[in-house]
Chains A and B, each alone.
Chain A
Amino acid sequence: MNLTTANGIFGGKPQSTLRLLEEMPGIPDVVWSILSRVDRECDPMRLVFISAEARAGNTLMAAATAVALARHLRVPVCLLEANVEHPALASYLGLRATGLTDVLDGRAKLEECVQRLPQCPDLFVLPAGTPRAVISGEFSTAQMRSILGLPGKRVRYLVIDAPPLQGHLESRLLLQHADAALLVLRAGSTRIDSAAHAHRILMEAGAPLLGSVFNAYGAAHATRESGLEAQNDFAAVPLRDPIEPSLVKTDPASDGLRKVDIGRSGAQQALPEGMLSEVEHRREVEMLERRIAKLTQQLEATEADLQRMAAAKGIDLGLASIYRSVQGLSPQEEALALKKDLMQKIFQANLELKQSMEQRSSAVSPSIAI
């Protein structure tokens, strides 16, 4: 899936921001067409927007989709910002900053924090609230579950702007409640390995992944076309996104990518070493997009196979641990020697318990050989 969006769309007056969100290219023809596949099956519907890394444009995507759903379907839509560490929505939309964290911490009631946009009466917004780090497990509390249960009570769509998967274990818990999920990637920024890793996590979490949104593709081009550049309300739109070195490697053996020499013009040749021209950049992006689509397709097929097998055997796939191997104390651990000693003592006590249990059971049932 491919989307072209304007970078820096937020940052202006709330009213203008709302209008621009409505007009954002890609949402009507791409996101909606994908949503419509599951829309009929899920009523109400919880839709999670999630990214592999920060700054992928997740909030933008979620907000634009929520606005579009509310405006065009004329049904109640709730936009929930769950990225409590870096809230943005309240300032973007000119709302009060109280929100999710304030509800979870008991400082405010849910009803007080859910806000309605006067310009879009069907859209309810629950901003992230007072910024703070995510508290482990808070997304699985009864209170959070009750918030995620909103669709059943009041709204047709709950659009969730989830924290990025990288470094936020809690995001996976939100996926447990999702009817559909969209992975947001950013052209020129998201690394292939991060995207693949994010996809694997989503698959392991059993998330109903509908597809991936490739954000900021040809951003400058789209910005000029949609006339956003002329608006004074916006922050300047960069002509090009930063390119991670991993995306422009020239060694075909390393990741299969090839940098194509397209015969640069004089202006392009003046680009600093290591930078790509816009045409090259777009070509790279297209190739990456195709690769992601292919990988996504393969992973989906594998996941479907696994799920079919699991269902046939009555196996619950569960939620994967963040650890792939046994951990133990880190050498950098504070008070390492003391903790090692404590672990040894706990183990010793349990070993003695185990031995006494074994002795007891052998005393109860004497050897059959006798």
Chain B
Amino acid sequence: MRTSDTTQNRTTRTNDLSESAPSTDRGLGSTLDNGLHTEKGVLYLGIDLGTSRTSVSASNGMRESIASYVGYPKDVVAKKLLKKSVLFGDEALEKRLSLEFFRPLGHGVIKSDGDAEGNLRASADLLGEIIRRAMPRRDELLYAVIGTPAQASIHNKEAIVKAAREHVDSVMLCSEPFSVAYGLDWLDDVLVIDIGAGTTDLCRMHGTMPEDSDQITNTFAGDSIDEMLAELVHQKYPHAQFSVQMIKALKEKHASVSEVMPPAIVHLPVKGKPTEFDITDEVRTACRSIVEPIVEGLGELIGTFDPEFQERLKNRVLLGGGGSQIRGLDAAIEEHMRELLGGGRVLRVDEPVYGGANGALKIAHDMPESFWEKLK
């Protein structure tokens, strides 16, 4: 556990660098009666634990994002070859054939189907890795806020907290769309669309903590686009060979919902021979598949809001998450809102990958000391 380590490492004698007895005093910068001096420093971490990518923003300036993949060498030979006991992100994906491979999060939460134990372990390791990449000093207190999907189950939240506690001194969870809005200081009458890989979260902010009735989660997100694109490409080009990962990479490169978009010309193998295919229409159709469910969800949240403020809410829609990088998506949602809701304005978050992590970092920063202490 980190707590005991940090306590020991944090406590040093003023004139003697040797380790001394652990101190229970966590007051920062204080000098204790026995002549010990506590080292200073609090590192805040904002973490976005996502189905597709896990990102961290830290108060030492570090920002990292890794694909949410974890792999363990299948056997001794693989371990010797890879020279690591666990691999993460793209490296794990690349070497997945030699690994017991996990994508531990599904629909934004830790998967409980299949190898539930393995997914739990992989999630804990993934959290540990993203924290390690934030380069914390061992003599600093680590306080983390982790963004979770708006409607994550209690079981899942417990699993995330349990995993995080192995690496930080105190941890809090927070609704992902809320953290995106908080990070941008948009707290009043805002609708947040957070398009992830597993889920799209819609959240209504009205100057207070969003409740269940303020949040809608659907599964029309990155993964569903990948599935549809794979199906459409297979229908049009039955001889083309591809994997879901290849389709995902192609989507990330060409994703657009615009009528006028650059042609998506790709190379896929046909019986081992790279062949050129035009998948422009398929990409557009697959990407557009999420627009209607999003606008329907928005309509539901707007329709159940105080009529006096509905107009304002419609004009303050914030588009975030990795899926917001689809070209023309803001305009497409606006267009659909005009048809369904009579108008609306969508603003895209500047940093889709780090929007959630930045917001979580801001929450961590703004949280009073006493709250952190009580959750230790």
Flag if B366 contacts A338 (CB, 8 Å): no
Query: What is the distance, in angstroms, from B124's C-beta to the closest C-beta of chain A?
Result: 15
Question: A321 to B43, alpha carbons, bound, how many Å?
Answer: 5
Q: Does B67 contact A (CB under 8 A)?
A: no
What's the tally of chain A residues with a CB closer than 8 Å to chain B? 46
Task: Report the nearest B residue to A344, measured CB to CB.
Answer: B371
Q: Report the stretch among A71-79, A121-129, A169-177 that lies at the interface.
A: A169-177
A328 touches B173 (CB 8 A): no
Known contacts: A320-B140, A350-B375. The answer to whether A343 contacts B61 by CB under 8 A is: no
8 nearest A-B pairs in the assembled complex, by CB-CB distance:
A137-B63, A318-B137, A326-B369, A321-B43, A345-B209, A319-B135, A347-B371, A169-B61
A289 to B105, CA, bound (A): 57
With A315-B9, A354-B161 known to touch, is A322 a contact of B59 (CB < 8 Å)? yes
A202 to chain B, nearest CB (A): 14
Q: Are B59 and A140 in contact (CB under 8 A)?
A: no
Q: Contacts of A318 on B, CB cut-off 8 Å?
A: 60, 135-138, 140
Report how many A-B pairs have Cβ atoms within 8 Å.
144
User: Nearest Cβ in chain A — how far from B222, in angstroms?
Assistant: 19
Q: Could you tell me the distance between the alpha carbons of A323 and B157 in the complex, rounded to whole angstroms?
A: 28
Q: Check: B78 CB closer than 8 A to any chain A CB.
A: no
Identity of the chain B residue whose Cβ is nearest the Cβ of A327 in the assembled complex: B365
Q: If A318-B135, A354-B161 touch, does A326 touch B61 (CB 8 Å cutoff)? A: no
Is B42 a contact partner of A323 (Cβ separation < 8 A)?
Answer: yes
Tell me whether B246 is interfacial, beta carbon within 8 Å: no
- Find out whether the CB atom of B61 lies under 8 angstroms from the CB atom of A327: no
Q: Which residues of A contact B366 (CB under 8 A)?
A: 327-329, 333, 339, 343
Known A319-B137, A328-B366, A342-B209: A356·B154 in contact at CB below 8 Å: yes
Known contacts A140-B63, A318-B138, A320-B137, A343 near B367 by CB under 8 Å = yes
A-B contact pairs, 13 of them (CB 8 A): A169-B60, A320-B41, A321-B140, A323-B42, A323-B44, A324-B28, A326-B141, A326-B369, A327-B42, A333-B366, A346-B209, A353-B173, A360-B158
With a cutoff of 8 Å between Cβ atoms, the chain B residues found around residue A356 in the complex are: 154, 158
Chain A residues positioned under 8 Å from B62 (CB to CB)? 137, 140, 173, 319
List residues 1-20 of chain B with CB under 8 A from any CB of chain A: 9, 17
Residues of B within 8 A of A135 (CB): 351
| CB atoms of B158 and A140 under 8 A apart | no
Complex interface: chain B residues within 8 A of A112 (CB): none
Known: A346-B172, A353-B173, A354-B161. A316 touches B138 (CB 8 A): yes
Chain A residues closer than 8 Å to B41, beta-carbon distance: 320-321, 323-324
Chain B residues within an 8 Å CB radius of A317: 137-138
Known: A329-B368, A343-B367. A321 touches B172 (CB 8 A): no
Residues of B within 8 A of A (CB): 9, 17, 28-29, 40-44, 57-64, 135-138, 140-141, 143, 154, 157-158, 161-162, 172-174, 182, 185, 187, 207-209, 351, 354, 358, 363, 365-369, 371-372, 374-375
A361 to chain B, nearest CB (A): 10
Give the interface of A toward B (CB within 8 A). Answer: 135-137, 140-141, 169-170, 172-173, 305-306, 309, 315-329, 333-335, 338-339, 341-343, 345-347, 349-351, 353-354, 356-357, 360
Asked whether, in the complex, the Cβ of A328 is within 8 Å of the Cβ of B368, the reply is: yes
Q: Is the CB of B371 within 8 A of A343?
A: yes
Q: CA A341 – CA B44 in complex, angstroms?
A: 20
A343 to chain B: which residues have CB within 8 Å? 363, 366-368, 371
Q: In the complex, which residues of chain B have a beta carbon less than 8 angstroms from the beta carbon of A339?
A: 187, 366
Bound CA span A346–B135, Å: 26
Bound together, the chains give a CA A13 to CA B365 distance in angstroms of 49
Q: In the complex, what residues of A have CB within 8 A of residue B182's CB?
A: 342
Q: How far is the CA of A319 from the CA of B136 in the complex (A)?
A: 6
Q: Cβ of A327: which chain B residues have Cβ within 8 Å of it?
A: 42, 44, 365-366
- Given contacts A342-B182, A343-B366, A351-B375, is CB(A322)–CB(B61) below 8 Å? yes
